[in-house]
């Protein structure tokens, strides 16, 4: 039995903040006691971590990553090995990645392929959502089976015609099925049919630079798709989770639905909170580094996203980590923005960027933990093991130094990608030590984890609904 004691820190969960000693036993949180009282209680440990002057927070839950993801004529550059190691460095101890159904093939085949990519490779725990590329009688039946096995969320695309796109009828059928089996439909809400027309028109007019990616993927077309997805979910009687919300007008659609009491949820990502179309318009081909979908928006949209995060019209911040190297990958789209692989790296920096948001006064410290840990855990059926610090929970803990400063850079990050979307950005706050199920995976800024430590975590259904 290994015992670790994390002493004297300010323990921050979504629910409360208290100075406490945390006793970890056999991978679980065994007990919490008032800071300094563990000696009097006779608690002993193999390892004592002094967290004085630090926060002790739950390990982050990143509910949206794409490791080893074939997309845009190439594959995202982080494997499960490199990606989960970078996650650990950034204080994220659980990732939920997207297994992909290949069109015309069984969901099971896609899921098996993702298990094969991840098994024995991960530094932290992992789970899967499933991307539904086909909606038909067979895949709907498989959906029921997967929910029963702990894969409880399914992503559909209103964008990318010819690739992942589903039409409204297919979406409605999948939502009806989810209403029956308890699954959660996750929606990429952009009107891909209209966007494709604008893409072709832009290219024909010689508008080929990266910034046109942002211009053709209009905010109104995100809002329209968000509205349509909400109405389809209402008709089906199913809950809905909209991924990577970036447009103010889309937040308004979610807020209006929630004001009606509908079970509609939304996620945004750090790139929409901290970056903008100014980045897409950087000189030469630099803007390609910032091509993702939904796209970065003009700065003015950020206020609505922060407001949504404060009012709970948006519940989750995840990264949509989908890295492509500038050299050789993003470069596929030189001379044609529509060929730039869509995606940004970010799994390592979510906890830090959201802590910066605390420092900047956008959110409270507890909301930081709610958005990054507790809410994604409950949304995707990982609570009470993940997302909080409480007796019986997995000992996924981060000792966070709120006063240390760092500068984000590709020269120091651990993601397998040749640029940083946040190059030169100064952050107040830094991950110091990270425990994953009691094992120290980052020890005072040294990686002490192990490839293969991370386990697959089956999930329950969405815990916002019961």
CB nearer ligand DUC, residue 38 or residue 293: 293
Contacts of 454 by beta carbon, 8 Å cutoff, 6+ apart: 84, 118, 121, 122, 123, 124, 125, 126, 436
Considering the rule CB under 6 A, would residue 23 count as an interface residue with ligand DUC? no
399 binds, among ligand DUC, Zn ion, none (CB under 5 to 8 A by kind): none
Contacts of 5 by beta carbon, 8 Å cutoff, 6+ apart: 21, 22, 23, 24, 38, 43, 44, 45, 47, 48, 49
255 binds, among Zn ion, ligand DUC, none (CB under 5 to 8 A by kind): Zn ion
342 binds, among ligand DUC, Zn ion, none (CB under 5 to 8 A by kind): ligand DUC
Considering only 101-109, 162-170, 231-239, 255-263, which stretch makes contact with Zn ion by CB under 5 A?
Answer: 255-263
Residues near Zn ion (CB under 5 A), total: 4
Tokens matching residue 393: 């929970």
CB nearer ligand DUC, residue 7 or residue 84: 84
Distance CA 78, CA 110 (A): 19
Residues near ligand DUC (CB under 6 A), total: 9
> Nearest-CA neighbor of 173 among 131, 128, 143, 129?
143
**Smallest distance from ligand DUC to CB 251, Å:** 18
Residues within window 293-322 making contact with Zn ion, judged by CB under 5 A: 320
Candidates 322, 373, 375, 441; binder of ligand DUC (CB under 6 A) is 322
Considering the rule CB under 5 A, would residue 188 count as an interface residue with Zn ion? yes
277 binds, among ligand DUC, Zn ion, none (CB under 5 to 8 A by kind): none
**Smallest distance from ligand DUC to CB 318, Å:** 12
Tokens matching residue 138: 């067979």
Tokens matching residue 210: 């990266």
Considering the rule CB under 5 A, would residue 255 count as an interface residue with Zn ion? yes
**Smallest distance from ligand DUC to CB 170, Å:** 17
CB nearer ligand DUC, residue 163 or residue 197: 163
- Residue 429 has φ and ψ, to the nearest 5°, of 115, 145
Considering the rule CB under 6 A, would residue 343 count as an interface residue with ligand DUC? yes
217 binds, among ligand DUC, Zn ion, none (CB under 5 to 8 A by kind): none
Candidates 342, 388, 416, 461; binder of ligand DUC (CB under 6 A) is 342
Considering the rule CB under 5 A, would residue 158 count as an interface residue with Zn ion? no
Tokens matching residue 64: 């949206």
CB nearer Zn ion, residue 187 or residue 209: 187
**Smallest distance from ligand DUC to CB 125, Å:** 22
> Nearest-CA neighbor of 146 among 379, 383, 459?
459
Considering the rule CB under 5 A, would residue 185 count as an interface residue with Zn ion? no
Q: In angstroms, how far is the first alpha carbon of the chain from the final one?
A: 36
**Smallest distance from ligand DUC to CB 421, Å:** 12
Contacts of 112 by beta carbon, 8 Å cutoff, 6+ apart: none
Residue where the block lists tokens 């030169």: 424
Tokens matching residue 130: 């499933």
CB nearer ligand DUC, residue 308 or residue 346: 346
**Smallest distance from Zn ion to CB 157, Å:** 7
Report in angstroms the alpha-carbon separations of 366 from 3, 88, 128, 285, 410: 27, 21, 27, 39, 29
Q: Tell me whether strands 17-25 and 28-34 are parallel, antiparallel or unpaired.
A: antiparallel
CB nearer ligand DUC, residue 158 or residue 399: 158
Considering the rule CB under 6 A, would residue 323 count as an interface residue with ligand DUC? no
Considering the rule CB under 5 A, would residue 257 count as an interface residue with Zn ion? no
Other Cβ atoms less than 10 A from the Cβ of 419: the count is 22
Distance CA 377, CA 94 (A): 9
DSSP H helices, 237-296, are: 248-259, 270-274, 277-280
Residues within window 404-463 making contact with ligand DUC, judged by CB under 6 A: none
CB nearer Zn ion, residue 255 or residue 354: 255
Other Cβ atoms less than 10 A from the Cβ of 296: the count is 28
> Nearest-CA neighbor of 448 among 433, 459, 460, 463?
433
Considering the rule CB under 6 A, would residue 129 count as an interface residue with ligand DUC? no
Contacts of 275 by beta carbon, 8 Å cutoff, 6+ apart: 290, 296, 421, 422
CB nearer Zn ion, residue 255 or residue 371: 255
CA quadruple 164, 421, 271, 338: dihedral, nearest 10: -30
By beta-carbon distance, which residue lies closest to ligand DUC? 292
Considering the rule CB under 6 A, would residue 188 count as an interface residue with ligand DUC? yes
Other Cβ atoms less than 10 A from the Cβ of 34: the count is 12
Considering the rule CB under 5 A, would residue 187 count as an interface residue with Zn ion? no
- Residue 366 has φ and ψ, to the nearest 5°, of -70, -35
Considering the rule CB under 5 A, would residue 218 count as an interface residue with Zn ion? no
Tokens matching residue 174: 């999948």
CB nearer ligand DUC, residue 91 or residue 343: 343
Residues within window 38-97 making contact with ligand DUC, judged by CB under 6 A: 66, 71
Considering the rule CB under 6 A, would residue 292 count as an interface residue with ligand DUC? yes
Rule CB under 6 A: which residues touch ligand DUC? 66, 71, 188, 292-293, 320, 322, 342-343
Rule CB under 5 A: which residues touch Zn ion? 188, 255, 259, 320
């Amino acid at each position: 039995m290994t015992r670790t004691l994390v002493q004297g820190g300010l323990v921050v969960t979504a629910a409360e903040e208290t100075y406490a000693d945390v006793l970890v036993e056999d991978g679980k949180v065994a007990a919490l006691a008032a800071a300094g009282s563990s000696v009097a209680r006779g608690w002993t440990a193999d390892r004592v971590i002094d967290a004085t002057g630090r926060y002790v927070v739950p390990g982050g839950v990143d509910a949206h990553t794409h490791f080893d993801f074939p997309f845009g004529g190439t594959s995202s550059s982080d494997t499960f090995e490199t990606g989960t190691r970078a996650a650990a460095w950034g204080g994220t101890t659980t990732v939920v990645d997207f297994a992909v159904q290949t069109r015309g093939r069984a969901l099971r085949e896609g899921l098996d392929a993702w298990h094969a990519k991840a098994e024995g490779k991960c530094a932290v725990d992992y789970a899967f959502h499933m991307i539904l590329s086909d909606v038909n009688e067979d895949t709907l039946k498989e959906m029921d089976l997967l929910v029963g096995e702990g894969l409880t969320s399914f992503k559909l695309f209103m964008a990318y015609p010819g690739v992942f796109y589903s039409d409204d009828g297919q979406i409605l059928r999948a939502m009806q099925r989810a209403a029956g089996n308890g699954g959660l439909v996750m929606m990429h809400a952009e009107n891909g049919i209209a966007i494709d027309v604008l893409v072709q028109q832009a290219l024909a007019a010689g508008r080929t630079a990266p910034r046109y990616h942002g211009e053709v993927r209009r905010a109104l077309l995100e809002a329209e798709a968000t509205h349509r997805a909400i109405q389809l979910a209402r008709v089906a009687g199913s809950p809905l989770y909209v991924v990577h919300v970036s447009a103010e007008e889309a937040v308004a659609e979610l807020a209006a639905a929630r004001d009606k009491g509908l079970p509609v949820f939304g996620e945004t990502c750090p790139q929409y909170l901290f970056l903008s179309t100014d980045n897409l318009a950087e000189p030469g081909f630099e803007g390609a580094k910032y091509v993702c979908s939904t796209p970065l928006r003009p700065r003015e949209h950020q206020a609505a996203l922060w407001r949504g995060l404060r009012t709970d019209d948006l519940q989750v911040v995840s990264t949509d980590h989908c890295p492509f190297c500038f050299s050789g990958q993003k470069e596929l789209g030189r001379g044609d923005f529509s060929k730039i692989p869509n995606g940004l790296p970010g799994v390592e920096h979510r906890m830090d960027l959201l802590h910066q948001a605390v420092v900047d006064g956008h959110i409270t410290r507890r909301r930081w933990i709610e958005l990054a840990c507790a809410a994604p855990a409950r949304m995707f059926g990982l609570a009470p093991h993940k997302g909080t610090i409480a007796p019986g929970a997995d000992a996924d803990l981060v000792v966070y130094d709120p006063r240390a400063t760092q500068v984000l850079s590709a020269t120091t990050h651990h993601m397998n990608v040749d640029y940083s979307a946040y190059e030169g950005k100064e952050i107040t706050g830094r991950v110091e030590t990270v425990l994953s199920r009691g094992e120290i995976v980052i020890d005072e800024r040294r990686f002490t984890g192990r490839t293969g430590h991370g386990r697959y975590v089956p999930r329950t259904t969405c815990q916002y609904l019961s």
